[in-house]
Chain A
Amino acid sequence: MNRTTPWWLSGPALVLFIVLLLVPLGLTAVLSFNAYDPVTGVKAGEFTLEHYAHVFTDDYYYGIFWRTFWISGLVTLICVAVGAPEAYILSRMGNPWRSVLLLVVLAPLLVSVVVRAFGWSMLLGPEGLVNGTLKLLGLGPIKMLYTEIAVVVALVHVMLPFMVIPVWTSLQKLDPGVENAALSLMASPFTTLRRIVLPQVMPGILSGSLIVFGLSASSFAIPGLLGGRRLKMVATVVYDEYLHELNWPLGAAIALILLVANLVVMLSYNRLVEGRYKKSLG
């Protein structure tokens, strides 16, 4: 085999990825250090750290990063609390329900987020079905749309499949014999769940959590459509800086901070999950 063959084969894709991924990211990194003047715009030749300093010291950006962080954390916790038991319940069902319901849970993944955000804005609006149901129960209308509630609910809806998939995958590797052995040795169902099932699906839960957290922290359409104008998250602030404030260098700096934070979260998966569990589980 010729040594250059693999490079010829992957060459076209490599060109695309260099021109549309590596070069633009490099340009954006440079841009984030460029000085900016509100009147004349970007000063190409002048370099400064002021945008990063600005993001890390200004209370406004601090508040937005903090909100993004706690909303993503809360969404991750809810996804663990709902997605892991759901995957477990589904895995114990018999066919055809098992595969049909798994598809029902996962298929919304393929529907555009804009459609799903719009669906939630109808459900959670002041005249929506949820408030209508609350009214029937004698509870006053709750303002949910354009608050954190709507953002969290819709993000959970978008992210839940990303939790169910890895948990489901690790459940498939589970040997049902071990579970039955524990039960036959008089372990209670709860003890079996806690001591036998949970430790084995932990890698799935962990990797799901990292994916959910990373995707929530960088989500754009959900906070953009359900958070309204005041409730900003990191991604929507970047959008504002670029298309409304026209301060591209500042927007680039925030986007790169988001990228680095995201990569740290996503790549720590390898260290945390694979390093620790591959040895013990084989």
Chain B
Amino acid sequence: MRKNGPLALAFNALVILFMLAPLLVVCVVAFTPENTLTLPTTEFSLRWFRAVFAHPDFMQSFWNSLWLGLASATLATLLAVPAGMAVTRYNFPGRGFLNGLFLSPLIIPHLVLGVALLRLFAVVGGGGSFGWLVFAHALIVTPYTLRLVVAALVGFDRSAEQAALSLGASQVQVFSRITLPMILPGVTGGWLLAFINSFDEVTMSIFVTSPSTVTLPVRMYMYATESIDPLMAAVSALMVAVTACAMILLDRVYGLDRVLVGR
């Protein structure tokens, strides 16, 4: 295969710079000692990080987002594992419909989901509560989990299961001792991907959170429309840090390239 020419490499460098620039700038400006959004020139300061930790609203939203991510990812995984087994292992009328329905949050704009849920909560009451929020987030992150579970189940050799069954193991034993351990990378990968997507979600959440359940991205969105100061940069840097940690974990248990490119 031919090598890339210098022009191609220069183009590549520009694209990489373009992709990294906004994230780098956020993380560097977060360390500014100044009162305005300036690049730190003489010294690095942690004062804006201290300001974040002393800011009750941001801290409350951070914990909201963290618990919401953990709860909704767990719920989505609990739903997606049996649903994934249903759509991969059984041929039944309605299978295509179920598969399409479970993946549909990927192609329905989150804005539409947000207004639809707002309407639901107006009718049944209880809008903005943490419980409803967990279900709403589970809905939008289930497709991510389902895709990885299905991928794990499709390339699955069922002879070990059949051997266990023929040796007298019950269905439950087969699932917990054979099937689950074998699809575990897909399940944990799906859980982490679900957590990241729940933790980052803003468009739907902005419609369905109440003042006490505002998530971190929603709080940041509200804050950024009113004022822009280095506090925002520090919160953003912390967001990037949490996402990066989850990404590294995801890479360890499943492989980031497999999640992103699908192989």
Contacts and interface: CB of A to CB of B under 8 A. Distances in A.
Contacts of B139: 16-17, 20-21
Given A129-B21, A129-B39, A235-B109, 15 more contacts: A10-B83, A17-B139, A23-B120, A27-B123, A86-B12, A101-B12, A106-B260, A107-B260, A110-B243, A118-B236, A165-B260, A221-B221, A225-B221, A248-B119, A263-B108
A13 B12 contact: no
A225 B224 contact: yes
B23 interface: yes
Given A85-B11, A103-B257, A180-B1, A9 B107 contact: no
B86 interface: yes
A150 to B, nearest CB: 11
Interface residues of A, number: 90
Contacts of B119: 24, 27-28, 31, 248, 252
Interface residues of B, number: 86
Interface in B88-115: 89-90, 92, 94-95, 98, 101-102, 104-105, 107-113, 115
B1 A9 contact: no
Interface stretch (B49-57, B183-191, B196-204): B196-204
A157 B247 contact: no
B164 interface: no
A110 B200 contact: yes
Dominant secondary structure at the A interface:
helix
A189 B67 CA distance: 54
Contacts of B12: 86, 89-90, 101
A14 B98 contact: yes
A107 B261 contact: no
B102 A13 contact: yes
B6 to A, nearest CB: 12
Greatest chain B CB density within 10 A among A165, A220, A266 is at: A220
